[in-house]
Amino acid sequence: MNWDDESDDRIVAAAADGEDTAVEAALRPKDLGEFVGQEKVRQQLDLVLKAARQRGATADHVLLSGAPGLGKTTLSMIIAAEMGAPIRITSGPAIQHAGDLAAILSSLQEGEVLFLDEIHRMSRPAEEMLYMAMEDFRVDVIVGKGPGATAIPLELPPFTLVGATTRAGLLPPPLRDRFGFTGHMEFYAPAELERVVHRSAGLLDVEIDTAGAAEIAGRSRGTPRIANRLLRRVRDYAQVKADGVITREVAATALQVYEVDARGLDRLDRAVLEALLKLFGGGPVGLSTLAVAVGEERETVEEVAEPFLVREGLLARTPRGRIATPAAWAHLGLVPPQQGGGGTSGQQGLFGA
C-alpha cells in the first residue's frame, strides 16, 4: 500500500479526502456558538468580531495556525457569517504569480473575507504584493517588462484576510506581523470530540449513545475531521451488521474492522511500533533501519507515522535513534526486556481498552 499521499489511503489521515469534502459542508458549524472547543480562540475571536461590528468596520486580518482538520476553514466561514460578509476561498499553492493574487484582490467586495489556506505556500512575489494589500488596501500592478515597466497603483476595498497555515513558524515575520489577530488551534480533548460526534450524528440522522460517541472520540487523534470520518464508517457498520444504533460495542467492533485501535493508531502506526519493540527491543534504532523493517520509505515512517506516535508519547526521537517509551510497551501488551526478559510475551488484543 502506498502511504505517501496520506489522504488517499488512511482512514485516520487528518487531510481531507474526496468523500470528506462532499460531506463536510453539511457538518460544518455555522456560528461560533455551534463551534465546539478551542475556547480561547473562540472567545478572542468573538471579541474581535463584535468590536469590529460595533464600529461598523471591517474585521482585522486573522491568522489561524494548527494541524489539518482542526477547523480552520470552518472558522473562516464563521468569521464571514458573523460579519455578514461574503467569503472567497483560495489557497497558497493556487497563487503562483502576483497577477493571480491581483486578480482576486481587485475583484473583492467591501468587507469580503478572503480565506487563504496554506498561506505559507504562496510564491514570493505574491507574498510581497499581499503585504501592501493587507496594510494599505492597495496593490501595484506592474505593466510591461524591463526598463519600460510601470507600476500602476490600484486601490482595494477594505477586506479581511483569513490566512491558515499548518506551519506558523514558516511565515516570514513581515507577513505574520500584518495580522491583527493570531489564533492557534489545539488538538481537541476527547470530551470535545464526543460533542463533535454527537452533533454530527444528529445531522446525519444516526442514533448513537454516549458510550458509542466516546469510543469514536477516543480513536479520533484529537481531530474533528477524523472523528466525522470514523463516525461515517461506524454508521455503515451499524446499518449493515447491527440494528443501526451506535453503541460502544458497535463502534469498537466497526473500528476493529477498519484497523483503528483504541488509541487511534492504524496499521502503519502499529507496524512501526511493533518493529521497534519486537525486532529492536525498543531501540534506539536508526530511522532507515526501522523503515526497512516495516517495508516503507524513510519519509513515510518519519512524516506519516511518527508525528502521531511522538505526540501520543509512544515513541521518542533521540540523537541515537528512535526509542519506544514504556507507554508503547503497555499499549501493545508487551513486556520490556529489562523487566520481563522475553520482550514479546504477553501480547494482548491490540484493540482492547
Ligand X SMILES: Nc1ncnc2c1ncn2[C@@H]1O[C@H](COP(=O)(O)OP(=O)(O)OP(=O)(O)O)[C@@H](O)[C@H]1O
- The correct pick among 82, 117, 266, 312 for binding ligand X (CB under 6 A) is 117
Q: Which residue has the cell 468596520?
A: 57
Nearer to ligand X, 35 or 159 (CB): 35
Helix axes of 224-241 and 248-257: crossing angle, nearest 10 degrees: 100
Contact flag: residue 28 with ligand X (CB under 6 A): yes
Contact flag: residue 183 with ligand X (CB under 6 A): no
Q: Answer whether 80's CB lies under 8 Å from 113's CB.
A: yes
Nearer to ligand X, 72 or 263 (CB): 72
Contact flag: residue 85 with ligand X (CB under 6 A): no
Tell me the per-residue interface mask from 268 to 307 with ligand X, x by CB under 6 A, - otherwise: ----------------------------------------
For 87, the 3-state DSSP assignment is strand
DSSP letter, residue 219: T
Contact flag: residue 204 with ligand X (CB under 6 A): no
Residues with catalytic roles: 72-73, 117, 166, 225
Contact flag: residue 224 with ligand X (CB under 6 A): yes
The CA–CA distances, whole Å, from 350 to 45, 99, 266 equal 41, 53, 11
Residue of 8, 10, 5 whose CA lies nearest to 270: 10
Report DSSP letters for 133-189, one per residue. HHHHSEEEEEESSGGG-EEEEEE----EEEEEES-GGGS-HHHHTT-SEEEEPPPPP
Q: Among all residues, whose Cβ is closest to ligand X?
A: 71
Q: How far is the CB of 146 from ligand X (least distance, A)?
A: 40
266 is annotated as contributing to ligand binding: no
Judged by CB under 6 A, which stretch of 28-36, 98-106, 201-209, 303-311 contacts ligand X?
28-36
Residue of 140, 105, 115, 124 whose CA lies nearest to 175: 124
d(CA 46, CA 284): 47
Judged by CB under 6 A, which stretch of 69-77, 209-217, 278-286, 326-334 contacts ligand X?
69-77
- The correct pick among 12, 13, 32, 36 for binding ligand X (CB under 6 A) is 36
Q: What are the two backbone dihedrals, phi and then psi, of residue 166, each rounded to the nearest 5 degrees?
A: -90, -10
351 is annotated as contributing to ligand binding: no
Q: How far is the CB of 40 from ligand X (least distance, A)?
A: 13
| Binding-site entries | 27-28, 69, 72-74, 135-137, 178, 188, 225, 298, 317, 322
Binding site for ligand X (CB under 6 A): 15-16, 24, 27-29, 35-38, 68-74, 117, 196, 224-225, 228
Report the binding-site residues for DNA: 298, 317, 322
